[in-house]
Amino acid sequence: MSYSIEPLTLSEIAAATGGEIVFGEKNTLVGAVSTDSRDCENAVFVAISGEKFNGNDFIPN
């Protein structure tokens, strides 16, 4: 599932979440967030661990 957000750079998102940039340039502007690795072509993928799946397993995709 993808959610629209106020456009932010990858570095702004990483700083706000305490995360790290694994793919992409730090100044890339992002306008959406996705919890589905299959639906994140123009969005930042956020890995969430749930009952059925662990989003971290899909980061390499």
Q: What's the CATH code of the domain at 41?
A: 3.40.1390.10
Would you state the pLDDT for residue 44? 79
Number of H helices, E strands in the chain: 1, 3
User: Residue 25's Cα: distance from chain center in Å?
Assistant: 13
Note the pLDDT tens digit of each residue in 24-57. 899 999 999 887 767 767 787 777 776 776 555 6
Domain count, the chain: 1
What's the whole-model pTM score? 0.65
Domain that holds residue 39: 2-58
6/49 Cα distance (integer angstroms): 25
28/30 Cα distance (integer angstroms): 6
2 and 36 Cβ atoms separated by less than 8 Å: yes
